[in-house]
Structure 1
Amino acid sequence: MNSKSEIDEASRGSEASSSNTSSTPSNSKNQPPVGLCAGSGSNNPHIMKRAAARQLIERYFYQLLDGCGNPNCDNKYCASSGEARNLTPNEAAAEAIKLFYKEARLCDTLPNKVPRTEASNCDASASATFTNSNIKGKSSVESKQLDSASCSVSLADNKKDKPETSHNLSHEEKENAIYDNGSMLTEERVYELCDECLQTKNPEPLIRALGEAFTQPTILSKCFQRKIVDRDNHNKGEKKLDKESNAMCSSNDPDKDVDSVMGPGLDVASCQRALQYLTKVPSEYYSSAFVIALTTLAENIEIDLRITKSLSMDDIVHCFVIAFEVPDLGCSDYLEIALPAMCHAAQHLSVKAQAKLARLWGQHCKESLRHILETIQQLITLRVISTNYSRTFQVQDDDSVTMATKLMKIVYYANMLAGVMEPSSLREEPVVLASQLDPLGDALDHLYPLSQIKTFKEAQQEDPLAIELDINVLDVRKPYLPFEEFYNEPLSDTIEMDIDLANCKTEVANGRKFSFLKYPFVLTAATKSLGLYYENRIRMFSERRVSLLHAVVGAAPSMPFLRLKVRRSHLIDDALVELEMIAMERALDLKKQLVVEFEGEQGVDEGGVSKEFFQLVVEQIFNADFGMFTHRPDSQTVWFNPTSFETEAQFTLIGIVLGLAIYNNIILAVNFPMVVYRKLMGRKGSFEDLADWNMTLYNGLKDMLNYTGSDLDEVYYQTFRICYTDVFGSNIFHDLKENGDNIFVTQENKQEFVELYADFLLNKSVETQFKAFRRGFAMVTDESQLGTLFRPEEVEMLVCGSKKFDFIELEKSTEYDGGYTPESQIIKDFWSIVHSLSLENKRKLLQFTTGSDRVPVGGLSHLKLVVARNGPDCDRLPAAHTCFNVLLLPEYDSKEKLQDRLMKAINYSKGFGLL
């Protein structure tokens, strides 16, 4: 087309959809022809907006062709600058349209050929463009372009010295012009609309206002702006800045500075008040319209993020903040349509935008976090329970669930930021292990590829969002919401963990598959432990194959298992010696499946013998007489003995034992304080960790911190020299600072004293012992996902099991064999006896039937006990296959006889033998 006609066509086309929806009849005598600017008396907003768009496009066109006439012009989009390339009229027309869309710079001086009549005729009408514009029916891209053009003209009318350009206005003037627009929601306007709706029972004005604002990101991002006003003018009707906002704006603390997080626009508190006021209106008035508006908003945001990229990061983030402040709409369409659309749009946010949203939610929307989380959880649960998943259509293939999980990750980090955080300087140094590569090197590469576990481990990377936020779950002392509220049990129960683990490895390789193991916060500890179990089993099978290949090529004898042969009478000596030899010669053998044999006993280890081995090792090695650990009688926990005579190698071997227990899915009766697991995961002990290590000491130091009197040094009479007791009861003195005995604790240095005291007790005094212990633990677990999947509290559960002894759950999950059913009289008698047992005897029953007296992760409902008939009534005692959790129970003829035989069996069950 020709250049002039192309411009006319562009300006008409950009308003085509609006013109088609205009209420002004097409044959009206008062309507000016298309392409001409409406007079000052015209009330048609579409014609005015079309005229404004055409005017700017023509200015870009003549600026590209003829320039502004200024020989010193530095505008690269102007022919006078010399930087603009020579264009044909058609090329200039096409380029002018592009420049209009991205709001490129215009020169102050008008090119000679710009029609001055249009510029002057548009002055009166263009200023009303935003106020009367109707955005319904437009796409986000179109509205953005037209709104920008019309806003520019309306702003130009307020500049008397430069009436024909908007590019000379300051940012603040532009923001104020947008803020004053009728389409922008403010707290006061929402109040007025809600009150009007309640009085007139006519929701149409409210629905129209919400629709106009919540369908377009360009408008919604400018709603609920914070108004900074001149205090000298408050008597003229201008509103004062509320005290809270003013205090935050003037704060010197960047964490409390609104501008440092939100920029100069969004007033979160005002938005929350306004949308909370909306709940006074019955939801049926506006819920359906809100669903449509939010769905349209999500689509427009996604188009902008993926294609046009015209909105700033702040605008997009503000839209998400406002959208998720919307109160509960009380309709299923919100969960089924609008919320999935918002989650789908959120996945296109850049990492920086996600981080900004997390910071904003975490620092200024704390009270909304539970509502946001519960809403996302409802969406996931609704989809999971209403969808029939199969092996061909997994929950990982459900976009609604996966997109919601991705959005929940932002809420998860916001929840950490909103809680109590500790400095990252308290993180432990990473454990550095010697290379554990196969000694054959490349010799077997052509026969068998390197383990997929190794490849997966090497490809593992920290979450980019965590890196951007510089946050680690170990830094969180107390989250705003408990971490357990992020668990979704229906989802966790639905996931096929073997498939999810395969997806996790595939995602690392090519990023195509979704895996919930990359979002562990949504999974229960029991589900994650199953994923860890599968991963460890894959590693064991891999090592078994490598061992067989070694034997085939004659490199080494076949050793597919990690075999330990021990004597009961010398259990610790035998076990530690063998493990030390394995760790020195070939540490990779620790990754093989463990097989234990007690010398002189006829047992084949299918899991039960290993359980008993670990139980006996723990009983002896944590005994106070052994001297490696001390006992805290108040907390019933064990701690490293700082004055132990044992070598570092011995503590390394204890770490190996703990790692082997996790690796082989065996629960131990270990009573470490939580600080041990935090340190194992990479976090040093701090003052708050003293609470579960030594509550008496913690309370004493807490009282000191809370004491406000100026005579603290006289009341407590404490210096920087401390005293503690060794395993033999002798007092040992230590100076926390040089010449500490002469430095008294005062109000000025009491915080320093407390921190140094805790650091010495929990870190420095046991540094040698703990480093060796952690190194041994890492030798077994370094290639697993233990550190990425589990928090310290969950690692404790992996090691020690659950603390909830619910035998009703065990009864529900128990299966029967050999003719027994839940209705059999002996089964009814059996459970009646079990429920009446003391906790100690219940532990003995678990020990007898499963080989461990601990409750597995997730509770007794995850323990698959089988009660099988073992013949008719007789005098034999019940027996058990601990490897398979099978209780062999003869069909006794009376309840009394059953109780007598059962109690004898559980009290005299140590060792392996035939009954």
Structure 2
Amino acid sequence: MCRGQAQLPIIPTYYLQFQVERDNIVQSALENVEKYWDDSDSNSVWLKPLKVNFEGEYAIDVGGPSKEFFHCLFSALLDPDLHIFRKIDDHAVSSNVWFNPEYLDYSTLEKIGLLFALLIFNEAVTTVPFPEQLYEKLLSNRDPEAIDLEKMDQGFVKQLREIEAENVEALDLDFEELRPGDENVPVTKENLELYIKEKMTKRLAIPQLAAFTKGFNRLASMTPLMKTIFKAEDLRDVILGEELDWNAFRLSVYYLDPYCEDHKVIKMFWKVFDEFEENDKRQFLKFLTCADHVPVGGFVRFPVRRLDNKADKYLDPDEPNKYPEPGNLMPEVMTCKDFLSMDLPEYETEEDLRFRLKMAIETRGFHLEVEAPPCVSATAPFPEPSILQQAVQGVVQLLFGGRR
């Protein structure tokens, strides 16, 4: 992600462009989808790579902003106050989520389903804790009622099964929740099995799941190979990424002169990093890549360079020829789709490095640039690919995106 004060270049029509508000990300994301929703050729629009610009943040999206967009969007969508999704296990600190059967805005759910497909198509690794059963449904045409609720929501099903027929009338249950207006229909020994079946059906939130799936298929139907090649666990891994291996992360780093593995600053960096708690390590990974998970295929190799504290951008306009000390600067990163780099100031002490690294993680700083980075041409024309080419490209991205 590159920021600067220069006017952003006009992005070729090869891209799908979103302009979003960070502080109103759900509504602005839905409004961006709405712009293309009723176009006759809207399906082909979704196959274009996404470029995101956050309002008030001058950036050239070469991978970072779009990853940040999906992470922020789905974090916001999972907010319990929106009532769109619910935790499967209400008593667990961390739980998979499912659709809320009380949420009846099916049009919004359809758009969220499309945004979820865009997340996959654009290789945005992020935390979306859906159970494997959702991916099985998205990749098949089977009846939603065939979803194994007992496997997905074991605690709920166990609780229902523990209702004893002999004592059910003492529980004073009725069908009001399942059939509005039927509060006068009590649950008895004779209709207990029907009550359990209807409770389980409602728990599946079938209308909500159907709307989400319909939106997802707006894009997925354009890449039909996806449904024949992928298994549910493969699709989940594309979204959640691989299990973190910090040793593999360290091996993915290489150094540019004068830095090397034995350099004082590099030794301090790894000492500080190794002392981080797991959450801080993940936050650093998010600072570096805009995601706190590893894409399928593993970490991208990236360089660590010495930050030049005597670059013109650091000059104090009130004091010509006065440059800041390295200890007063934060690490900076360049985040592109297929390229990363980190510029690390030549800190004098471990305390300076720890303080500035933590500050960078907390403030989510980015590498400031005026021009587009070398991994993208801001003005070069792109040929408009055919729908077939884009469909093939989509499947290749899904299968091999993290391995390039």
More helix by share: 1
Alpha-carbon spacing, 1:628–1:760, altered in 2? closer, same or farther (3 Å): closer
2:252 matched to 1:839? Answer: no
Q: What are the Cα deviations for residues 422-467 of structure 1, in whole angstroms up to 9, with x where unaligned?
A: xxxxxxxxxxxxxxxxxxxxxxxxxxxxxxxxxxxxxxxxxxxxxx
Among candidates 221, 236, 240, match of residue 796 of structure 1: 236
The secondary structure found in structure 2 opposite 1:840 is helix
Whether the 8 Å CA contact 2:128–2:240 is kept in 1: the answer is: yes
Among candidates 45, 53, 59, match of residue 597 of structure 1: 53
Q: Hey, what does 2:64 align to over in structure 1?
A: 608
The secondary structure found in structure 2 opposite 1:862 is coil
Whether the 8 Å CA contact 2:178–2:198 is kept in 1: the answer is: no
Q: CA deviation at 1:774?
A: 0.8
Q: Hey, what does 2:360 align to over in structure 1?
A: 905
Q: Hey, what does 2:33 align to over in structure 1?
A: 579
Whether the 8 Å CA contact 1:833–1:899 is kept in 2: the answer is: yes
Q: CA deviation at 1:623?
A: 1.4
2:77 matched to 1:628? Answer: no
Q: Hey, what does 2:349 align to over in structure 1?
A: 894
Alpha-carbon spacing, 1:583–1:887, altered in 2? closer, same or farther (3 Å): same
Give the Cα–Cα distance (whole angstroms) in 2 for the partners of residues 720 and 843 of structure 1.
49
- Aligned residue type for 1:816: Y
Give the Cα–Cα distance (whole angstroms) in 2 for the partners of residues 576 and 912 of structure 1.
29
Q: What are the Cα deviations for residues 379-428 of structure 1, in whole angstroms up to 9, with x where unaligned?
A: xxxxxxxxxxxxxxxxxxxxxxxxxxxxxxxxxxxxxxxxxxxxxxxxxx
More strand by share: 2
- Aligned residue type for 2:134: V
Whether the 8 Å CA contact 1:602–1:913 is kept in 2: the answer is: no
Larger radius of gyration: 1
Percent identity, aligned pairs only, is 26
Whether the 8 Å CA contact 1:630–1:639 is kept in 2: the answer is: yes
Alpha-carbon spacing, 1:617–1:867, altered in 2? closer, same or farther (3 Å): same
Q: CA deviation at 1:895?
A: 2.0
State how 1:726-875 maps to structure 2 within 5 Å: 732-734=177-179, 741=186, 743-744=188-189, 756-762=198-204, 766-784=205-223, 785-802=225-242, 804-858=243-297, 861-871=298-308, 873-875=326-328
- Aligned residue type for 1:879: E
Whether the 8 Å CA contact 2:252–2:301 is kept in 1: the answer is: yes
The secondary structure found in structure 1 opposite 2:45 is helix
Q: What are the Cα deviations for residues 148-196 of structure 1, in whole angstroms up to 9, with x where unaligned?
A: xxxxxxxxxxxxxxxxxxxxxxxxxxxxxxxxxxxxxxxxxxxxxxxxx
Whether the 8 Å CA contact 1:622–1:628 is kept in 2: the answer is: yes
2:149 matched to 1:689? Answer: yes
State how 1:154-193 maps to structure 2 within 5 Å: none
- Aligned residue type for 1:681: L
Whether the 8 Å CA contact 1:602–1:912 is kept in 2: the answer is: no
Whether the 8 Å CA contact 1:562–1:595 is kept in 2: the answer is: yes
Q: CA deviation at 1:715?
A: 4.5
Unaligned stretches of 5+ residues in structure 2: 1-11, 310-325, 371-404
Give the Cα–Cα distance (whole angstroms) in 1 for the partners of residues 356 and 69 of structure 2.
26
The secondary structure found in structure 2 opposite 1:732 is coil
Q: Hey, what does 2:334 align to over in structure 1?
A: 881
State how 1:345-744 maps to structure 2 within 5 Å: 559-585=13-39, 586-587=41-42, 588-632=44-88, 633-635=90-92, 636-646=95-105, 648-682=106-140, 683=142, 684-686=144-146, 688-693=148-153, 695-701=154-160, 712-715=164-167, 732-734=177-179, 741=186, 743-744=188-189
Q: What are the Cα deviations for residues 204-252 of structure 1, in whole angstroms up to 9, with x where unaligned?
A: xxxxxxxxxxxxxxxxxxxxxxxxxxxxxxxxxxxxxxxxxxxxxxxxx
TM normalised by structure 2 equals 0.72
Give the Cα–Cα distance (whole angstroms) in 2 for the partners of residues 722 and 814 of structure 1.
62
How many pairs were matched up? 332
Whether the 8 Å CA contact 2:101–2:203 is kept in 1: the answer is: no
Give the Cα–Cα distance (whole angstroms) in 2 for the partners of residues 912 and 822 of structure 1.
23
Q: CA deviation at 1:913?
A: 5.6
Give the Cα–Cα distance (whole angstroms) in 2 for the partners of residues 820 and 604 of structure 1.
28
Give the Cα–Cα distance (whole angstroms) in 2 for the partners of residues 894 and 607 of structure 1.
33
Give the Cα–Cα distance (whole angstroms) in 2 for the partners of residues 865 and 685 of structure 1.
46
Alpha-carbon spacing, 1:826–1:659, altered in 2? closer, same or farther (3 Å): same
TM normalised by structure 1 equals 0.34
Give the Cα–Cα distance (whole angstroms) in 1 for the partners of residues 356 and 179 of structure 2.
58
State how 1:16-35 maps to structure 2 within 5 Å: none
Give the Cα–Cα distance (whole angstroms) in 1 for the partners of residues 351 and 128 of structure 2.
36
Unaligned stretches of 5+ residues in structure 1: 1-557, 705-711, 724-730
- Aligned residue type for 2:101: P
